[in-house]
Amino acid sequence: MPRRSPSDLRWSDVTPKSLFLSRRHFIGAAGALAFASTARAAEPPGDLTPREAITTYNNFYEFGFDKSDPSKYAGSMTIDPWSVEIAGLVDRPGRYDLADVLKDQPIGEHIYRLRCVEGWSMVIPWLGFPLAGLLNRVGPQSGATFVAFETLARPEEMPGVKRRLLDFPYVEGLRLDEAMNPLTLLATGLYGDPLEKQNGAPLRLVVPWKYGFKSIKSVVKITLTSGQPPTTWQRLQPSEYGFYANVNPGVDHPRWSQASERRIGEGFFAPRRDTLMFNGYAGEVAGLYTGMDLAVNY
């Protein structure tokens, strides 16, 4: 993907809302969007979480620590126009307008679980494209072994940033082979619509076999590096939040058991579910960790 000057189009003009209103529109828009196969785990994800729950129960600390803060305060965030800086060990670094990125990528539906370290889970119909597609276009160099991500930090629009609730900007990272796995998604929407701001609009990472804090929101920078990058929660509490953060019922968080989970939307008194290794995606990703002690590399 060559470096381009800013486009006259906004990212929302490339994927207009009318194309996302139903699955029928996806099929009818095949000439404009390449429809990717729905990604499936060996264990079916289950019933979809209600959209209202997905959009009102969120962790997005740039807007506050309460789960309802993102839906209350994210409306002030400006997301159009949007660009992503790609830097580090790549052949074609630069700042890419999101409209240009989306024109080059196949947007499809991917029904994934999301499992958070606190013990709650959702099943979400994401819209997006594999991160590998974008990385291949910018050309990872031979020395690149990790990918670092950075979230928008705009104190005038984000009350949590203004109050310095964390050391912003929020940063995360993956090993390059994890980033290139077909399940690793750059999401642009959910439930047939573009992402809402509290869910990480206009572009967020989704890594379905890892705890939710790895799926960084509102991405503004991607950097390929030769060494393991710092991550926000590992930097703050390394004994609780490891770099890998793979969903693992056999490795508890110091303050919570990870053996079971509560599915959001099913009611507080619904029976808890057994946590699945790698969140149910072991068939697709277990090979990435052959020979690793996952209690040490947590």
Which residue positions form the known binding site for Mo-molybdopterin? Answer: 58, 61-62, 116, 151, 199, 204, 215-217
On the 0-12 / 13-18 / 19+ scale of CB atoms within 10 A, 162 is middle
Burial (CB count within 10 angstroms: exposed 0-12, middle 13-18, buried 19+), residue 27: exposed
**From CA 15, how far away is CA 20, in angstroms rounded?**
8
Nearest partner of 103 among 136, 126, 134, judged by Cα: 134
CA 107 to chain centre: 15
State whether the Cα torsion 58-164-185-298 is positive or negative: negative
19 Cβ contact list (under 8 Å, min separation 6): 25, 26, 29, 32, 33
What is the spatial distance between Cα 115 and Cα 275, in angstroms, rounded to a whole number? Answer: 9
Among residues 3, 209, 19, 211, which one has the least CA distance to residue 92?
3
What are the φ and ψ backbone dihedral angles of 112, each rounded to 5 degrees? Answer: -125, 150
Neighbours of 267 (CB within 10 A): 9
199 CB-side CA count, 13 A: 24
β-pairing, 193-194 vs 108-115, is unpaired
- Binding-site sequence positions: 58, 61-62, 116, 151, 199, 204, 215-217
